Structure formats: C-alpha cells, structure tokens
Amino acid sequence: MTGYKIISIDSLLSALGEDGVEAILSGYSCPINDDIEDFLRHKAIPFARQGLAKSHLVFAGYQGEVVLAGYFALANKTLFIPDKAKLGKNIRRRLAKFATYVSETKMTIISAPLIAQLGKNYQNGYDRLITGDELLKMACDMIQGTQLAVGGKVAYLECEDKPSLIRFYESNGFRRFDERQAADQTLLVQMIRYF
C-alpha cells in the first residue's frame, strides 16, 4: 500500500478551513451507496467538530495530481453482544477479558472502535486507484495503532445485508455475530474482528 496519503478531516480543517475542505469533499462520488456519499459531503465535518466520528481521507497520485481515492470514518461506540449472538466459545472467552457481562440483560458490553463508513471515490474513475481491501486495511491498521496506546483487541462494523458485502468483510477477518434494524427499517448485519 505505497503511494497513499491518509489525512484526517481535522488536519485538513486546521490547514484549509471549512471552505477548503468542503471543496475537496465536493469531488467525492459514490453512486453505489448514497449514504456513504452523503456522510462525507454533509456529515463528516460536523461529526469531526463534535467528536462523534473522525473521517480520514485517502489520497493517491493520478496523472501528476493528488486526488481523493477514498475515505473511512472511525468512532468509538459501546457494543452490546447478546447471548444469542453467533460467536464461538474462543471469541467469547477472549472478549470476556475486557468486556462486561450483564446477567440481567444477558448481554456482553464492550467499548470498541466502529468502522462507521468506508468508501471509494467513483468520481473520474478514482475508485480504480485503491481496492476495498486496501482501504479496510488502512482503517484496521489505524485502529490497531490506537489500541497499542489505549488497549483493546476488537473492531466492529455494520453493513447492509448483502452477500457481496458480507463476503468482503469476512474475507478481511470480520465475523458476523448479529443483526439489527436501522431507523429506516434497513437490516444491518453486525460484524466483529478480533485482532
């Protein structure tokens, strides 16, 4: 994964101001998922300022220019894992070391990084400059780097219940453990990765 530069929205805001960052974000397009595009264009800056999620832009060289190839957003969330979740004994045993089990609710509770967004930029074919595997690895590497400083061993994400998405995340070490319905009634598959 050489040739990429990861820059946080916060760093760009400090260097370029909000107008400068919005100009960069306006060149992002993701026709395969409107939510990913909408988040980066309209929510990434407010979420960064409020500390809700931090977006990281991935730039690549293309025809003598530096262009936005993709991005990922990370957040710290509390994860609730019900007893009925499809996790093996080995992972449950590992999680028990730094999670809290609440017997009244039959839930394991753990604070963990959430990969909140992940998307390539389809504007001008820039999506061909980076693979989904590379983008996800960058997000996981950043999480692991943070966990070296503060502790932790897992990351999680939620994705739409699409076989291609689930296969993609499973091929990158994530494991499906539960599902939930979003406010708009979309079924979201919850996945976890133990590092």
Average pLDDT, whole number, for the chain?
Answer: 94
* 88 pLDDT tier (thresholds 50, 70, 90): confident
* 184 pLDDT tier (thresholds 50, 70, 90): confident
pLDDT tens per residue, range 7-30: 999 999 999 999 999 999 999 999
Selection from 70, 72, 80, 179 nearest residue 125 by Cα: 70
- Comparing 86 with 144, the larger pLDDT belongs to 144
pTM of the model: 0.92
Six token digits for residue 181: 């319905």
Cα 70 versus chain centre, distance: 12
Across the range 87-94, mean pLDDT stands at 87
- Tokens 């990429």 sit at which residue? 4
- What residues have CB less than 8 Å from 129, skipping those under 6 apart? 60, 62, 67, 69
Q: Which domains does the chain have, with CATH numbers?
A: 4-194 (3.40.630.30)
Is 117 a residue whose pLDDT tops 80?
yes
pLDDT tens per residue, range 153-171: 999 999 999 999 999 999 9
Selection from 158, 193, 192, 173 nearest residue 35 by Cα: 158
Across the range 177-188, mean pLDDT stands at 89
In angstroms, rounded to a whole number, what is the distance separating the alpha carbons of residues 43 and 76? 17
CA count, 13 A, side-chain hemisphere, 181: 3
Cα 11 versus chain centre, distance: 19
